[in-house]
Amino acid sequence: MRHAIRRLSVTVGATILLFAMAFLAPASLLAQHLAEFEQRMTEFTLDNGLKFLVLERHEAPVVSFHTYADVGSVNEVLGITGLAHLFEHMAFKGTKTIGTNDYEAEAKVLAEIDKIYEAIKAEQRKGLQADRSKLEELQKQFKQAQHEAQKYMVHDEYEEVYKLAGSAGFNAYTSWDATQYIVSLPSNKIELWMLMESDRFCNPVIREFYKERDVVMEERRLSIETRPQGRLIEEFLAVAYKAHSYGIHVIGHMSDIQTITRPEAEAFFKKYYGPANLTIAIVGDVNPQRVRSLARKYFARIPGGPKPEPVETVEPPQIGERRVSVEDPAQPFVLIGYHKPGINHPDNAVFDAITDIIGMGRTSRLYKSLVKEKKIAVAASGFQGLPGNKYPGLFLFYAVPAKGHTHQECEEAIYEEVEKLKAELVTPEELTKAKTRARAGLIRQLDSNSGLAAQITFYEVITGDWRNLFTQLDQIDEVTAEDVRRVAKEYFVKKNRTVGVIETTAAEN
Amino acid sequence: MRGSSFSGIRVFVFTAVLLCCIASSCTKQYARPYEDLKYPKLGDIEIPDVERLTLANGMRLFLVEDHELPLIGISARIRTGSIYEPADKIGLASITGIVMRTGGTVSKTGDELDEQLERIAASVETGIGLNSGSASMSVLKEDIDTGLAILADVLMNPAFREDKIMLAKIRHRSSIARRNDNVSSIAIREYEKLIYGPESVYARHTEYATIENITRDDLVAFHKKYFKPNNVMLAVIGDFDTGEIIKKIEKAFEGWQKADIDFPDVPKVQYEFKATTNVVRKEDINQSNIYLGHIGGVMSDPDYFALIVLNRILGGGFTGRLFKNIRSREGLAYSVFGLYSSNYDFPGIFYVGCQTKSESTVYAIRAMTEEVKKMTESEVTDEELALAKESYLNSFVFNFDSKGEIVSRLMTYAYYGYPEDFLQKAKENIEKVTKADVLRVAREHLKPDKMQILAVGRPQDFDEPLSVFGPVHEIDIAIPLPLPPKQ
């Protein structure tokens, strides 16, 4: 019965754990892997700035494509929160030639819809002075125009073309840092992807926009409003960040989703989807020379432009602990976050080691203390990568209290472990284990085309070089017990902390 | 089968047309540009040789070498499951599966196993589900001896130490306490109970009382009854030499004696088709979780293949009717789904459902019912049939893109008694499905006027009362209190 469709979902950090594992110890084996990867990798950049990473892997006649757009909800401003994700949905609606039977006629109706919608908004802005009968008339016209537009649409064509061709894993996801579009195909269909994906970012047509806004509102109800832990994350980030846009959940505010317009979505696309802001990985049974010539043929037509500016807002240091609670009939939960630098800071590898030592597996410190010994939680861990990696994020601790135990008990027990990190050096065994597991963890990620495509685009865009997937190893290998203590002392302080809890309201048993 | 080739059906093979118009302009229009593409023949699929054998003690092995990465993995299936546990001890199978590993073995505590495994970045895990037990091992190849020894020890000699039984019970009690926190899981759980009956082994669930009833002796006896080598299958994949690893496996499980197992009878699913309307009140949410449907089928039914095609047309991903009409056209839901599910050995469930704002609950139920009805009233279109069949056939290659998947599929077929070429047979049969077949199986298997409706939500906010569908049965999901502690 677990077949609900999970398309176009907002990533809320599960994948982050994966990235946290992606470092390794300098075993000769991995140096070998990197050398071998370099032989199989072909990199090239088109004149318009679009970068391709092509990795040959001939295990089976299939290929995975991964388009990484260096734009996420972090690029939004108030009034258009949720737009990066909403645009991702719109990128499945087709182009000037796919999804329509007469684009010129359709474009006129779409423009008409935009005009009516602006008129509706203008009237609504008058508040109590709004002319009700005029509004009703406009709403009627709005509906009619949308109906009219349907005549020119070839519904769901973009999706059906891929499906018919035998696609697998056709999807997309939006996070704070990025918007990513993925699909796998039998390897004889490379040219189909070239045509479809290039057209998607050359000639996108935002159609059925206002229906899709409704869909995203349902997604917000599903992932945030009916889920206590979803609500907690939204509240928690809003408190942890007062300046930086990491503080607003990817899904966006309901009132923004309700009022975003199609022209706003088009402007967002123009600003952030230029070829200089896209990186594409192609992994599988491919001939890199053919890929290169097809890429030129299809993608070179997209006009170039400057890469958009990064977010310049810097989150100021906290001046005291911040706390937030969600009152709900649900069972308790506690989430603790400390501000930390982004992924390219030298301390990142130290946080990776800390993640392993305190948070991974049954021998980790939090599991041992809270779950095995104190028996006050059923799960407890720590990780980094939320809300994102590109800008300074958070190191997070959490615990799921066992029945009959409170979030307060768990919070205290987590602080005990945090204080231990600051007072005592971690053992050599713990450090060695962290390094060994990092290495094995990486090897285990090298066996799937789609997984590799995700990893190499992430490292290429966020750290500047896909090779860091392997070479981050050198950094973790240099981590010492003293580093762990220094980092814990520097960052894990009360003043730098945000605490969020689910406070159970009605006693349910 | 090694080297046998499979060429994907080429859908869009037309005479080669130069695509100069595409390259020349970013805005120039052209009709259905992808139709002019000419695809090369798909490369051959190397289907690996899977070595199959039965050891002297009755254990069945499925092995395939994969030298891409220096890893070895084993996954095991053991014929057991919660379907065999007594009604007053629901949770027994699950706790046995957990504590086999966490409670350690006769010679090593669970904590010692944790240390030993995590130090070498390896894992050994066990679990028991509804109708199958599982065990898995994953190691870097140089650690195979350690991993295999622990896997064998855990399967043969678990010690079921009390401290870890206690932990497993805490985990179960905590998940009982949390089971009404997530709306989707309330809906799935209650819908399964509506279809199979609340007492059915396929729908019942743990309560505080059933967890309390479970003792260490129960775990020991449950393990002893089902964990025999002749009741175990192992799928082994990775960077090894087949001959050598067979010897290692034989040695690791040396001395494990085969024995006959007397499996308890499991009552057959009895289903009476009826239309019912049910609601679970959840006051604190603004969105309803809706399920409609009735009993489903089994994969051994000859109609199974036409039902696959039906599923793809009704609920298949982004291109099924439900997604197109309920989500894209109407904007009623983010998540909408529908499936006539068929299981290997007991009937699945036919269901359609979605999550929609409270104010469109009844509207969405009507819209989804209409989609089911349409399947039984008229033939699907040529385009729909072509999309459903050809997408299946063109994506068939993805069944063979991982050696691990190939070997575990073979083991699964063997476990449930299906022919090893079942997948190939499915492909051949799906190629033959016609529009008339789809309509016939829809009429035979879907009963739109006898569906059971479940809505989890806030009924006072619904667009219309649920009673428009018939008398409404309210399901109480309050969690029965734990028994007072024993003296």
Gap from B30 CA to chain A (nearest CA, Å): 6
Identify the bridge partners of residue A180 per DSSP, sorted by sequence position: A68, A173
pLDDT reported for residue B11: 27
A506 has a chain B CB within 8 A of its CB: no
What ipTM was reported for this prediction?
Answer: 0.89
Q: How many CA atoms lie within 13 A of A380 on its CB side?
A: 33
CA dist., res. B136 & res. A21, Å (int): 21
Residue B116, classified by CB atoms within 10 Å of its CB into exposed (0-12), middle (13-18) or buried (19+), is middle
> Closest Cα partner for B178 from A332, A78, A456?
A332
CA dist., res. A86 & res. A156, Å (int): 17
Residue A286 has pLDDT above 90, yes or no: yes
Contacts of A436 in chain B (CB under 8 A): 119-121
Kindly list the domain boundaries of chain B, sorted by start residue: 1-47, 51-252, 276-474
Chain B residue nearest residue A231, CA to CA:
B285
Q: Are A167 and A63 in contact (CB under 8 A)?
A: no
Task: Indicate if B276-474 has the same CATH topology as B51-252.
Answer: yes
Which CATH code fits B276-474? 3.30.830.10
- Of the residues B34, B114, B212, B286, the best mutation for testing chain A's interface (the one with the most A CB atoms within 10 Å of its CB) is B34
B16 has a chain A CB within 8 A of its CB: no
CB contact under 8 A, A444 and B317: no
- Of the residues A143, A403, A437, the best mutation for testing chain B's interface (the one with the most B CB atoms within 10 Å of its CB) is A403
Assign A474 a pLDDT band (cuts: 50, 70, 90): confident
pLDDT digit of tens for each residue in chain B (487 aa)? 333 333 322 222 222 232 333 333 344 444 688 988 999 999 888 888 899 999 999 999 999 999 999 999 999 999 999 999 999 999 999 999 999 999 999 999 999 999 999 999 999 999 999 999 999 999 999 999 999 999 999 999 999 999 999 999 999 999 999 999 999 999 999 999 999 999 999 999 999 999 999 999 999 999 999 999 999 999 999 999 999 999 999 999 999 999 999 999 998 999 999 999 999 999 989 999 999 999 999 999 999 999 999 999 998 777 889 988 888 888 888 888 999 999 999 999 999 999 999 999 999 999 999 999 999 999 999 999 999 999 999 999 999 999 999 999 999 999 999 999 999 999 999 999 999 999 999 999 999 999 999 999 999 999 999 999 999 999 999 999 876 655 4
Gap from B129 CA to chain A (nearest CA, Å): 15
Q: Mean pLDDT throughout A476-480? A: 94
B20 has a chain A CB within 8 A of its CB: no
Which CATH code fits B51-252? 3.30.830.10
pLDDT, tens digit (0-9, with 9 covering 90-100), for B334-367 = 888 999 999 999 999 999 999 999 999 999 999 9
> Closest Cα partner for A153 from A70, A108, A90, A94?
A94
DSSP assignment of A43-61, as one string? EEE-TTS-EEEEEE--SSS
DSSP assignment of B140-201, as one string? EGGGHHHHHHHHHHHHH-B---HHHHHHHHHHHHHHHHTTTS-HHHHHHHHHHHHHH-TTST
> What type of residue sits at position B225?
K
Query: What integer best gives the mean pLDDT of chain A?
Result: 92
CA dist., res. B291 & res. B365, Å (int): 8
Identify the bridge partners of residue B454 per DSSP, sorted by sequence position: B278, B291
Work out the angle between the directed axes of helices B382-394 and A157-164 (0-180°, nearest 10). Answer: 50
Q: A 455-474 residues with CB below 8 A of B?
A: none
Chain B residue nearest residue A207, CA to CA:
B328
A105 has a chain B CB within 8 A of its CB: no
Q: Are A430 and A378 in contact (CB under 8 A)?
A: no
Question: Least CB-CB distance to B71: which of A298, A302, A443?
Answer: A443
Alpha helices in A157-312 (DSSP H): 157-164, 190-202, 209-220, 228-240, 254-259, 262-272, 288-299
> Closest Cα partner for B53 from B221, B186, B276, B249?
B249
From first CA to last CA, the distance across chain B in angstroms is 64
Residue B314, classified by CB atoms within 10 Å of its CB into exposed (0-12), middle (13-18) or buried (19+), is buried
Residue B259, classified by CB atoms within 10 Å of its CB into exposed (0-12), middle (13-18) or buried (19+), is middle
Question: Least CB-CB distance to B287: which of A92, A184, A226?
Answer: A226
Work out the angle between the directed axes of helices A190-202 and A157-164 (0-180°, nearest 10). Answer: 170
Helix (H, G, I), strand (E, B) or coil at B288: strand
Reported for A363-371, long-range contacts at CB under 8 A and 24+ positions apart, including other chains, are A363/A433, A363/B114, A363/B115, A363/B118, A365/A417, A365/A420, A366/A397, A366/A399, A366/A414, A366/A417, A369/A413, A369/A416, A369/A417, A370/A399, A370/A410, A370/A413, A370/A414, A371/B167
Residue A11 has pLDDT above 80, yes or no: no
Domains along the sequence of chain A with CATH: 55-299 (3.30.830.10), 322-504 (3.30.830.10)
Q: Are B133 and B77 in contact (CB under 8 A)?
A: yes
Model pTM? 0.91
Question: Least CB-CB distance to A187: which of B24, B43, B71?
Answer: B43
